[in-house]
Amino acid sequence: MTPQDCRDHAKFNGWANQRLYDAAAGLSEADYFRVRPAADFGSLHGTLNHLLLVDQLWIGRAEGADPGFTGLDQILHADLRALRRARETEDLRLIAFAERQSEVDLARDISYRSLVGEAYSAPLSRILRNLFNHQTHHRGQAHALLKEAGRQPPDLDMFVFWSETEG
C-alpha cells in the first residue's frame, strides 16, 4: 500500500459510508433495527455500529491509544442519527490520518493487543489494508440488508466514486 493508495481508500471509505447512511435513513426505525439472519451483528444498526467500532479500534491502535472496547458487537450509539454523526467524525479522522502517512510510516510495525489481551505486531500498511477490506466486507452485508428491507441499495463501485469526485 502506498501513501496515495491509503489516501484514496480513506476518501472512498467516507464516500461509501455516506451513501450507505443516506440509504439507511430512508428505512423505518423498525426495518433499520430488525434482526435479520444474514446480519453478523444482528441488524443493519448492529452492522454499521460494528464498522465504526472496528475503524476506531484500528486507528486507535495505530495512534497508540486503546479505545477500551470490550467486544466487537459493543453498541456505541443507540440510534442512527448519533451513529451517523460519529461515523462522519471517524471518516474525517481516517482521511486526516491517511493524509499524514508516508512510505516510512506505512512500513512501521504497530504493536497492539487483541480484545482478549493477546499481543500482536504488524506493519501499518497491513493494518490499513485489513481495515479497508473489513469495511468493504461489512458494507456488502449492509448493502444486502438494505435490499432485504425493501430499500434500493446505493452503488458503491469505486468507478462511481471516481466519476463523482474526480470530474
Summarised one tens digit per residue, pLDDT across range 125-139 is 999 999 999 999 999
CATH topology of domain 3-153: Four Helix Bundle (Hemerythrin (Met), subunit A) (1.20.120)
In sequence order, what are the residues at sequence separation of 6 or more whose Cβ sits closer than 8 angstroms to the Cβ of residue 103? 2, 3
Q: What's the grid cell of residue 162?
A: 471516481
Give just the sign of the alpha carbon dihedral 64, 98, 5, 107.
negative
Q: Length of the chain, please?
A: 167
pLDDT at position 167: 66
CA-to-CA distance for 118 and 50, rounded, in angstroms? 21
The kind and range of the H/E element at 125 are helix 124-148
In sequence order, what are the residues at sequence separation of 6 or more whose Cβ sits closer than 8 angstroms to the Cβ of residue 164? 15
167: which DSSP letter?
-
What pLDDT digit, counting tens, does each position of 50-81 carry?
A: 999 999 999 999 999 888 898 999 999 999 99
How deeply is 159 buried, as exposed, middle or buried, from its count of CB atoms within 10 A (0-12, 13-18, 19+)?
exposed
Its pTM stands at 0.94
